A and B are shown apart, each in its own frame.
Chain A
Amino acid sequence: MLREFTSLTTNSVPGVIKQGKKYYCNRCGNKKLKDFYRDSLGVYCRNCLVFGKSATYTKIIREQIIIPKKDKCGLTKVIHLSDMQELASKHCVKAYKEGKNTLIYAVCGAGKTEIVYEVILTALNEGKVVGFATPRKDVVLELYPRFKRDFCQVEIVALYGGSQDKGRLANLYITTTHQLINFYQFFDLIILDEVDAFPYYNNKMLEGFVQKAKKKKAPIIFLTATPTRKIQYLMKTKQLDYFIIPLRFHRYPIPVPRVSLTSATITKLNKGVCPKKILNWLESKKSTSKQVFVFVPDIKSGINLEKILKPHFTCAFVYAESPNRKQIINDFRAGKFQLIITTTILERGVTVSNVDVCIVGCDAEIFDERAIVQIVGRAGRDKNYPTADVVLFCDYYTREIRKAIKQIKRMNKMAKRMKLLL
């Protein structure tokens, strides 16, 4: 038996229903015939199997819950927004009132979270239910205490795999996109952070969850720093309302990466040699106080690189499965070592104040336009250290490298034209 929360009246539906010759999964909205399979009792959906079996013989109970109305919500402290943030915030409120979807396209480090504070408050004061959804669990864990601190008189619940709060009532839900499966026509406003991040990007199932969880006419506010090609197309053809913030909150331009050509980087690393150019660049950082992010395309080359650099630098390598990942990152933040070698897992959400960034083997497929822009966005986030040296080491230029640099330059240019830069 599966449970979902809804604002409609309580009822129950079968997990999978037959529509003509096709099947339809009420749980995840899946229609593809290849994702259904027959077992002894009926037909089940393989798409959303991890959330419990949804089949022709199982029932989904949609339970009505009514959220008690709160009379007054507010912020505990005054949040200072920059002019651009102020405008974006107003834009969100306007879009919400008109019931339109909108996109906030703000560069890395522009302060996207603060922008949506006002629209959340407006909705909450109307007695509505708001969902702040993001594909990544780390983000939920980071935002929950922050929201809890900043909002007063608001019930906030954080939902993620393994959360203790499941089933609690609240006005504001901070949730991973996966957890939205437990809701059906429930939210009056959904804010979707990091739309382009894994696993939401290109995932039909999660997109379906968002559509299912919100009320039919409820608007969605998308937040992103690096729109996908699909969103770029929607923006271009004006199917999606958008607002661009081309500069960071500290009003310095984003550092433009410099490309340095090396030869046969990955092969050399496998042989236990590091290209001279990279070594020299890293050597030059030794005398400065700056910490360095070194991004590598895969785990194997990361391990190789760590072996080579270990005798000369204080460094560590983190990847998704490394056992003490959190510990290493915290040590790096505390400045215990100068160099961190990492795969793309650290491309988002990590803020270290004074860093230089380089990508080794930037021609690899994994470094697409969005990944490069995000990685460059790690540099110069602090007000006190707004400039940084960003180098892309690659064997040859790829289309993605060109596009990423072009995008960064375009944003800087736009900020300059609007006379926003300091």
Chain B
Amino acid sequence: MRECLYCGKIIDKTISFTSIFKHSDTYLCTECYGKLEKVQCGCQRCGKKTTEAICSDCLYWERLEETKKYVIKNTSLYYYNEFARNLVQQLKFLGDCKLLLVFKNDILSLFKKVKKNIVLVPVPLHEERLSERGFNQSYLIAKLIGLPILDILVRNDNTKQSKKKKQERLMLDNQYQLKHDVNLSGKTIIIIDDIYTTGATIHKIARLFYQTGVEQIYSFTLFRS
């Protein structure tokens, strides 16, 4: 007997052969889970809902002077719809980190086939915000994946990304810094975040890592808006 983490209803499992022999954790009732919309084809790079092969946002990053040297492939699990917004609201602004368990199954099945030599880089939180919320959601997502984590970034500004306009997001420099130099030659890094909106955060961090000699930069976010 387990309660749905979002609506509190008791999840009734139908007993079948699979449910007996295969262990699976469900934290959302079928009704709530059905409201999550999985990312399916769209932009090849960021997963945006478009009919084009590569969306205009990604082309913008490609044209830009500093970011054109590398191309980032982003993977997101779900679209950021109304229900996802409510989930994020409860997760981030109420501070309910148990809610992350909801995504555990889908995250694990996504990372099943990932090859070795991978380092996860969670997007950092400002210290003040951390003490307010009690956890860094990106770090906890990285922890769920279960691959080696490199916690090397510091965040300098304390304003919420969601309170900024698109232009402001793109303009700001020096938002993130590396704590110390590292050598990551031959390795692949995956930047972990909760929501991909304009891609500004991911590209800024990618720029920092470009000098460390990484081979490939990927990014993983829970939601794609």
Contacts and interface: CB of A to CB of B under 8 A. Distances in A.
A42 interface: yes
A44 B99 CA distance: 13
Interface in A116-138: none
Contacts of B97: 37, 39-40
A53 B98 contact: no
Contact of A41 (B96, B135, B139, B140): B135
Contacts of A44: 95, 134
Interface string A51-90: 0010101000000000000000000000000000000000
A44 B95 CA distance: 9
Contacts of A152: none
B96 A40 contact: no
A57 B97 CA distance: 15
B134 A49 contact: no
A46 interface: yes
B171 interface: no
Nearest to A52: B94
A43 to B, nearest CB: 10
A53 B91 CA distance: 11
Contact of B134 (A46, A50, A57): A57
A39 B94 contact: no
Contacts of B96: 37, 46, 49
Nearest to A43: B134
A41 B94 contact: no
A46 B131 CA distance: 18
- Sorting the interface of chain B by its residue count into under 10, 10 to 19, 20 to 34 or 35 or more gives 10 to 19
B135 A37 contact: no
Contacts, number: 35
A38 to B, nearest CB: 8
Interface string B121-140: 00000000011001110011
A40 B140 CA distance: 9
A44 B98 CA distance: 10
A44 B136 CA distance: 15
Interface in B64-117: 90, 94-98
B135 A49 contact: no
Nearest to A50: B94
B107 to A, nearest CB: 18
A403 B207 CA distance: 72
Contacts of A42: 134
A168 B205 CA distance: 48
Interface of A: 37, 39-42, 44, 46, 49-50, 53, 55, 57
Given A37-B96, A37-B98, A44-B134, 10 more contacts: A39-B140, A40-B130, A41-B134, A41-B135, A49-B94, A49-B95, A53-B134, A55-B134, A57-B131, A57-B134
24 contacts: A37-B96, A37-B97, A37-B98, A39-B95, A39-B97, A39-B134, A39-B135, A39-B140, A40-B97, A40-B130, A40-B136, A40-B139, A40-B140, A41-B130, A41-B131, A41-B134, A42-B134, A44-B95, A46-B98, A49-B95, A50-B94, A53-B94, A53-B134, A57-B134
